[in-house]
Amino acid sequence: MHTTQKHSTKQTLRGQSFETSEHEERSERSMTAIVQDRYGSADVLEVREIPRPDIGDHDVLVRVAAAGVDRGVWHLVTGRPAVTRLAFGLRRPRNPVPGLDVAGLVDTVGAGVTRFTEGDVVFGTGHGTFAQYTRADEDRLAGIPTNVTMTEAGVLAVTGSTALQAVEDHGRVRPGDRVLVLGASGGVGTYAVQIAYAVGGIVTGVASSDKLDLVRRLGASGVIDYRADDPLAEPGRYDVIIDTGGNRRLRDLRRALTPTGTLVIVGGENGGRWLGGTDRQIRAKLTSLVTRQRLTTFVASEDAIHLERLADLVETGHVTPVVDCSYPLAQTADAIAHLESGLTRGKVAITTDRTESR
């Protein structure tokens, strides 16, 4: 690891401070982290002291303040569906520390880093963020907007950037487009509703009855309780459908689109142990070749361009991160269990002892 340069022992963002204790100064090579040696339920997660990550020339060591919990994290912890293990390790996770979202303080920078210096406050994605420190590529970070807390910034990057790409890059939502967001109260959905509204879309959000008030506040002009009504019942109603969850049939989704409408499949749940709905995404791409409708899916890009665009939307008040609740690092397993309960509105956050907790 590169030698840590001198930096201020205290930084603040909206009143939140980062103090360097004597204990931390004596333990410069270790950190507390959440570790998993195998796939499974949240019970496989353990709190351990492990070495701090080494960084390369274009990496940044971030002192973690907050990190987000979402369905993507759940998939990586459980190893389900099985297809995810092809990318992250067949028998066990290649990176034993879970977590992608991060917000925190730049502690150390690599020799080739040009975008950040020690002491900067940043958000983005890191390599194992359920820890006191994480390694992050400098091109997967951006400066934190000044009008959010560290906890809010900690749940911004992964699902916020995914929603941004779904709405703008792939959905190509334009002013006046009628947009349906399925899973509107979830981690991606809460951002998708706000971004679609910000670019001029007429948004209808789908959620359970107890979450419809949230979806309205985020900018949806119409809301549908999926337990009471079929959001896809009316043929040809929507110009764009952003499907952030579930495993609805393609023919039903297509029926609700206009003849030249666009379907963006962000993810899928309840699609089986092995493929988890990825087969539906493949069928959508193939069907799109023989129809006037655009049926697409994508793997979100983790890059500074989208993070900076997202930060601008937050800074101007068009997007606000929705934090359901937060848990201290040692209670990460409880946070994931809460996510599994289905009661979450927006995102769940993990915080270190330097930021507010649940």
User: Are the C-beta atoms of residues 45 and 74 closer than 8 Å to each other?
Assistant: no
Least confident of 29-33, 92-96, 296-300, 320-324: 92-96
Q: Based on the domain organization, do 151 and 253 belong to the same domain?
A: no
Q: Based on the domain organization, do 16 and 30 belong to the same domain?
A: yes
In a domain, 254, yes or no: yes
pLDDT by residue (tens digit) across 310-330? Answer: 999 999 999 999 999 999 999
Half-sphere exposure of 105 (CA within 13 A, CB side): 21
**3-state class (DSSP) for residue 78:** helix
Q: Based on the domain organization, do 14 and 44 belong to the same domain?
A: yes
Question: What tokens does 3 get?
Answer: 């030698």
Q: What is the pLDDT of residue 354?
A: 52
> Looking at the 3D structure of the chain, how many domains does it have?
2
Q: Based on the domain organization, do 291 and 343 belong to the same domain?
A: no
Is pLDDT above 60 for 17? no
Instruction: Please give the residue that has the higher pLDDT: either 80 or 137.
Output: 137
* Percent of the chain at pLDDT exceeding 90: 68
pLDDT by residue (tens digit) across 251-275? Answer: 999 999 999 999 999 965 555 554 4
In a domain, 100, yes or no: yes
pLDDT tier at 245, thresholds 50, 70, 90? confident
Instruction: Please give the residue that has the higher pLDDT: either 358 or 324.
Output: 324
Q: What is the pLDDT of residue 227?
A: 94
Q: Based on the domain organization, do 132 and 235 belong to the same domain?
A: no
**What mean pLDDT is predicted for residues 159-187?**
97
Which residue from 208, 188, 161, 173 is spatially nearest to 322, judged by alpha carbons? 188
Is pLDDT above 90 for 80? no
pLDDT tier at 22, thresholds 50, 70, 90? very low
Domain harbouring 163, CATH code: 3.40.50.720
What's the mean pLDDT when you consider all of the chain? 87
Least confident of 29-38, 220-229, 252-261: 29-38
Is pLDDT above 60 for 300? yes
Q: Based on the domain organization, do 15 and 137 belong to the same domain?
A: yes
Q: Is the pTM of this model over 0.85?
A: yes
Is pLDDT above 50 for 12? no
Which structural domain, as residue segments, surrounds residue 172?
Answer: 159-297
Q: Based on the domain organization, do 206 and 344 belong to the same domain?
A: no
Q: Based on the domain organization, do 167 and 146 belong to the same domain?
A: no
Identify any residues that bridge with 257 across adjacent strands, giving them in sequence order.
Answer: 238
In a domain, 65, yes or no: yes
CA distance 56 to 88: 21
Angle of CA points 14, 20, 23, to nearest 5°: 145
Q: Based on the domain organization, do 31 and 149 belong to the same domain?
A: yes
